[in-house]
Structure 1
């Protein structure tokens, strides 16, 4: 230090960080960083001051002096690395916003790199949500350079951790705003961020923001997306601290760890996270019921295929959303299942597409509808048209993704035995797709069922099915391993085994059965095993997990005299060890029994052999005497024996501690087997109940269909009955009308019979016009059965004017038939003008008929002057008319004819 300058190194960090002199602040940042790097673990006292006053870091990361800010950011990165998750949780609320606003836009590359590393460490040590929430408001900053830098930071976060760790929903909703920014650099960084998100999400990201972009922006992005589509799927480059702990636990310790059998950590995690993030994690659920037509069921049951297709089109438009809010879709699903039997392939294809959208939209909520639609879809796989088969297969895949392999397996294996070759072939393809995409390892009973069905396919008559059986076995071997599948290959020839081996080598699966680690004898832990943070670009420098820091102290047990101390062996029991050479509690035994760090198993102490100078003491249980694993002593003191002349390396394998561990392990294994058997029994019961429910649902559907058919039949019969009643009433009215007409005719006929004018031979000339009916009218009355006049006789012109012409006259052929061909009885003599020659016959009045007062004197004198032949002719006419009347009566059954009298 130069002379005359004051020494500020003795001041506390809180004063140095807030000093008005930038050089003092810069020195404080550098000094803090150096001390952080020398700390043994997170519990070092140096971190306490900064954890108690986290606001100190706000000024450090946003220092007004760029040189001091650079060191302040570097010091904050060191603090996060060595102080652990608690440092991130306490300070990120004070620092992330300032780093995004003033650290990322820094002109110094070192400061910019430290700012970006600080953000990544905040995500790595805890979770990403609070970090993203602090960066999003910076996107509205008025300075374009700050907005562009914040977008760059977001791009780096998603590039390192992916969309599985960092939720992209909030960022996707903010993209349209930055795409509309006036600065071209901001728009360019927005494009970079969008392309990075597309690497992880693909087309799943578009529904959230794509419609708000301009067409030109969409075209530019599509060009950039084309290049991304050719790239391999992205993988997470940095793991969070939780994933690092899981990777360390997955790497294992013991015999398997030395041979590399358990080393899977980062590679396995990356494999599990391959693929796109599901769209359900991004979109908000949508209530689709208001969009479905109210008459959907009626249209779906229409006899016209166009109506059914229109109903399914409307349903497809309603279901075509990223995420569907769960509801009562029972009626809709039953209608879609019924459409699988439709004769129109367009209706079947649309119904399959609707099932696909519904299953993808509600996912886990579709489990209760699986049994309703799965069997009808598989039955329809007999359709040979490729477009229909593809739609049905896509619907089955969506149903499988929404449920699980165990749920779909029973029905799938039944259709593998189907008598239709097309159905069998498509079902085999579906089963292969299920095995490739499932993330759950099948249970042993399921494996046996699948292997037996596939083995039968190897002898199928179709080459496609034989190849499908071999592919099923090869894919199953990829999941379970060669050793687990060996019993199922007994009896197969070498050709089939070679074929299965080929499919095994090329199969790509997402679920793999991990063999259980072999439990070995415990080893003495003397030197801590150094562990590197998996997946991190820089080591975090943490000496132990946070869970291990609060573990109880290690108890020591005096060694047996027969087992002298040997040289220290690196421990493979524990994880990250404490200073002093003692292993961290919760090591390999807990990992074998319950998972990472012993979280899932009862807590036990790891006892290491003490040195020879320590006195022997009895083991004391922290929890006292009691039942359970935690209440029993870990080991018993062995009986003294003669010391061995030379150290035996294998001595710990036969110690009392190892025996007790093996006994407890066997007990836990037996308990696990019991639980597995219980789970299998419950699964069998569930499968049985599901099959019963399915059968009852089918019966219910059949009963509903029968009931509907019966109701329609009853309605048709009722309609016919109503029509028959109406016809009967009309017929009855007609009959009554005819009866009334008959009664009227009878009355008219009786009046005619009572009239004595026809039977009286006297006064013929005076009563001629009254007693002689019109021959034409008589003929018409007999021929047409129409109504007669009141007396049955011709009533003159007034009566003829109200009747049809056919009643008033007869044709010459009719007159000849009736015997009226006499020259003196032509038609004109019986016309209304007949009264000119015979006035008495044409008079319309009663007085004129009897030749009383209305006739003039000239007429009376003319009548007396007629010659005698007129009377003869009148007498002949009268006799003919009487005979004619008698014939008419005889025809009507009123009197017997003269021959029978």
Structure 2
């Protein structure tokens, strides 16, 4: 018990984050009760949670499910009774935990409280920030979290509608959730799509329909059929701003206002695909040969060019660009001799106007007149295509801009063009939302009257239809002056079209009370000063007038003074009362006289005819006979005679104030609507900013990937360069080693000259060029001394080849098999033939590579063909690479044998040199 008392003594915020779940649960319950008892949103109970909004994150994500449920209840109470600022601060901390921890809870109460909290977040402000917070949750790893979030989004759009909550962010991610592996996620995605269809109908399909599988499209179509029978959906929950606007509406005129504006409220529910689609860049995709084909002499090429353009512009929304040249070409195509080309050009104009909407208005003057000139075509398909193009151009502009061209072609000499223009004008009058100006109405009426006298029945009926549609727009009474001079038959025909016409623009005359309420303020002043004696006669003669009605009801105030609303009757009576001895105070002077003497006094004043001389004393506050001829007890009577008109200005001013109040209310509602529109625009901009941020993140990721790839390539390049440098160093080292071995061999031969020295029997042999067989004989013979002669013979053969120009001298790396193979694998040397040969000879001599290079020099000079073949064994483009490799390996074996013979000979020479001094 002591611990519980200590817990209760802790502040609420400390218990809110206490480690014991029961303490936290008790804190949540206590906070919810305090929120419900607060008188307004400015109570001190909300302040700690407004200052530290992070407390709600721990409450809705409480580890204990019982405490979590109470935390959600506290949040709902906070959002319901708190202010907008606190809700907006708590939104960024609470929505993600609610979506991840509460919406997918197994407890029904927790799930319901989480959904209610989301709806209250939206009710406090706007839906866009809440939807932005829920979008990342759709990428969660747990399917149940995604399914619960989709169900919550379905409820959000069901309660607030697609007019209040922007559906574009969710429509973009619908294909992703439809492709999810979990069937529950796909089922919730289907429910959300059906909810969208209730509000948007087919306008939502271009956003995601093509990304779905055929089976999913078939299933959705089956679900859509069930929804089509339902009526237009209505918003079930209102935002606080909408609730305030509804409360501010006048109670008496609320129903009428709803009836008048009912069409405007329900029409935007039918959202167009243009509002949902993203603008697509079309101008950059136009083929390069479009203009060349369009100027071709063959009509098929011209039609193919227009068909290609039609495929490009057949999108819900087109990004604005420079389409001036394209529209000039399309206007020129209106004069084409082939009607197929004309029809295709008209369809392209229609799609361009529908895809650009208001952005197409600047091209109206370019295409409208050529289209009207082509209305002479009698073929139905051509005339329908031209009419649809004109309607699309008109939807991008307004009646004022098109009226001049329409009236010009209504008097065209071609009856077919005249009839087509007349039908176009009727369609414009039916679809326009702006009531034409008086001058424009007069122009249209004159054109319609001219058509009434045409010889064609269709044109006469069209003129009557034009006049009947105009009558439907401006009203029957304002139209009567325009119909003067027409016979009854034509008036009857116009009246028939008036009754059947359907228009979207209707002139609503403003109520007249406002001007009437402003007129009387100047009147009371004259009545009080000049017409006081005859004040009762206007009351009997003209009851509707505002001045005479109030005098008997409230002539004076309770204190006996005229009310403050009076204009001219206040100061003069005060002067009169102060002049009389019986009225020391104006507050005591007023109650003294009774109504009967007042009437008698008024009757006496009415009997006397007014004279110009008598007007001056009355204005100065004196009697008709001056100061001497007037009793001192009668000044009160004129006071009361002048006092009754004073309440009339009070009533007039009340009407004025009421009219001004109505105007202020109307202006206030207009401003509130503007604020709501600005908020919606702000939410759209926020969503676009978020989308741009996502695109920027993707671009940054791509850039980072490219940079890493470039760095990896640079690293590979550096390694390759280092390997090349190492190979060059190895090549230089081996070349120096070869030179050293050659010098060593020359020194050894100089110290012990063989049979090839001058004067020896082998001199003549050195001048000969041995064949390949001779070299083989010498190399394979039993006399090791033949190796020296082989070398000399090879050297002479090389010199002869140089002199005869048989070929380019062998480079050093071709003379040495070690270098030849090292050129391809210089860095590692694992594929070097020297190592393979060293394994073959079993490590007989560790100094083998030096002797091998010199031996290979002999083998290269002795067998030129083998050497060249061996030098080309590493080339990949050599056709006989395998045979050359075998020949190279045989040369290596022969070189090994020559080397062993050379070693033996060197040992013999050393032995001879060592034995000479002893002899």
Query: How far apart, in 1, do the equivalents of 2:4 and 2:499 lie?
Result: 73
1:292 paired residue number: 286
* Cα distance, 1:59 vs structure 2: 3.0
Contact 2:204-2:273 within 8 A present in 1 as well: no
* Cα distance, 1:332 vs structure 2: 1.0
CA shift in 2, pair 1:330/1:427, >3 Å: same
Query: How far apart, in 2, do the equivalents of 1:269 and 1:664 lie?
Result: 21
* Cα distance, 1:306 vs structure 2: 0.9
Alignment of 1:64-463 (within 5 A): 64-244=63-243, 251-252=249-250, 257-258=252-253, 261-263=256-258, 267=262, 269-279=264-274, 281-457=275-451, 461-463=455-457
Residues 1:653 and 2:667 aligned together: no
Contact 1:247-1:266 within 8 A present in 2 as well: no
Query: How far apart, in 2, do the equivalents of 1:483 and 1:62 lie?
Result: 68
* Cα distance, 1:391 vs structure 2: 1.6
CA shift in 2, pair 1:113/1:563, >3 Å: farther
CA shift in 2, pair 1:343/1:146, >3 Å: same
CA shift in 2, pair 1:353/1:665, >3 Å: closer
CA shift in 2, pair 1:130/1:423, >3 Å: same
CA shift in 2, pair 1:516/1:196, >3 Å: same
* Cα distance, 1:259 vs structure 2: 8.7
* Cα distance, 1:127 vs structure 2: 2.6
* Cα distance, 1:277 vs structure 2: 3.1
Contact 1:563-1:644 within 8 A present in 2 as well: no
Contact 2:162-2:269 within 8 A present in 1 as well: no
* Cα distance, 1:180 vs structure 2: 1.4
Query: How far apart, in 2, do the equivalents of 1:351 and 1:247 lie?
Result: 50
Query: How far apart, in 2, do the equivalents of 1:477 and 1:79 lie?
Result: 56
Contact 1:125-1:241 within 8 A present in 2 as well: yes
1:273 aligned counterpart, secondary structure: helix
Query: How far apart, in 1, do the equivalents of 2:475 and 2:6 lie?
Result: 68
Alignment of 1:674-713 (within 5 A): none
Query: How far apart, in 2, do the equivalents of 1:357 and 1:172 lie?
Result: 24
* Cα distance, 1:495 vs structure 2: 6.6
* Cα distance, 1:147 vs structure 2: 1.1
Contact 1:163-1:277 within 8 A present in 2 as well: no
1:14 paired residue number: 13
Q: 1:88-116, CA deviations, whole angstroms, 9 ceiling, x for partnerless residues?
A: 32221112222222333234444433333
CA shift in 2, pair 1:87/1:372, >3 Å: same
Query: How far apart, in 2, do the equivalents of 1:497 and 1:301 lie?
Result: 52
Contact 1:470-1:496 within 8 A present in 2 as well: yes
* Cα distance, 1:137 vs structure 2: 1.2
Please report the RMSD computed on the Cα atoms of aligned residues, expressed in angstroms: 4.3
Contact 1:562-1:644 within 8 A present in 2 as well: no
* Cα distance, 1:351 vs structure 2: 0.3
Query: How far apart, in 1, do the equivalents of 2:93 and 2:131 lie?
Result: 14
Query: How far apart, in 2, do the equivalents of 1:310 and 1:400 lie?
Result: 27
CA shift in 2, pair 1:350/1:488, >3 Å: same
Contact 1:100-1:150 within 8 A present in 2 as well: yes
Contact 1:200-1:277 within 8 A present in 2 as well: no
CA shift in 2, pair 1:370/1:501, >3 Å: same
Unaligned runs of 5+ in 1: 523-559, 566-611, 613-639, 670-901
Per the normalisation by structure 1, the TM-score is 0.54
Query: How far apart, in 2, do the equivalents of 1:455 and 1:427 lie?
Result: 15
* Cα distance, 1:440 vs structure 2: 3.4
Contact 1:125-1:240 within 8 A present in 2 as well: yes
Query: How far apart, in 1, do the equivalents of 2:57 and 2:96 lie?
Result: 9
Query: How far apart, in 1, do the equivalents of 2:19 and 2:517 lie?
Result: 62
Query: How far apart, in 2, do the equivalents of 1:149 and 1:368 lie?
Result: 49
1:167 aligned counterpart, secondary structure: coil
2:761 paired residue number: none
Query: How far apart, in 1, do the equivalents of 2:498 and 2:462 lie?
Result: 13
Contact 1:521-1:653 within 8 A present in 2 as well: no
CA shift in 2, pair 1:201/1:274, >3 Å: closer
CA shift in 2, pair 1:495/1:103, >3 Å: farther
Q: 1:834-876, CA deviations, whole angstroms, 9 ceiling, x for partnerless residues?
A: xxxxxxxxxxxxxxxxxxxxxxxxxxxxxxxxxxxxxxxxxxx
CA shift in 2, pair 1:663/1:28, >3 Å: closer
* Cα distance, 1:348 vs structure 2: 0.9
Query: How far apart, in 1, do the equivalents of 2:212 and 2:456 lie?
Result: 53
CA shift in 2, pair 1:54/1:437, >3 Å: farther
CA shift in 2, pair 1:94/1:417, >3 Å: farther
Query: How far apart, in 2, do the equivalents of 1:67 and 1:654 lie?
Result: 65
1:294 aligned counterpart, secondary structure: coil
CA shift in 2, pair 1:76/1:442, >3 Å: farther
Query: How far apart, in 2, do the equivalents of 1:276 and 1:665 lie?
Result: 32
1:342 aligned counterpart, secondary structure: coil
2:46 aligned counterpart, secondary structure: helix
Alignment of 1:488-507 (within 5 A): 488=482, 490=484
Q: 1:344-373, CA deviations, whole angstroms, 9 ceiling, x for partnerless residues?
A: 111111101111121122222211111100
Query: How far apart, in 2, do the equivalents of 1:490 and 1:139 lie?
Result: 68
* Cα distance, 1:374 vs structure 2: 1.0
**Could you say which structure has the greater relative contact order, defined with CA pairs below 8 angstroms and 6 or more residues apart?**
1
Deviates more, 1:494-503 or 1:394-403: 494-503
Query: How far apart, in 2, do the equivalents of 1:220 and 1:664 lie?
Result: 53
Q: Between Structure 1 and Structure 2, how many residues are aligned?
A: 553
2:42 aligned counterpart, secondary structure: coil
Query: How far apart, in 1, do the equivalents of 2:483 and 2:446 lie?
Result: 10
1:692 paired residue number: none
2:104 aligned counterpart, secondary structure: coil
* Cα distance, 1:71 vs structure 2: 4.0
The answer to which structure has the higher helix fraction is 2
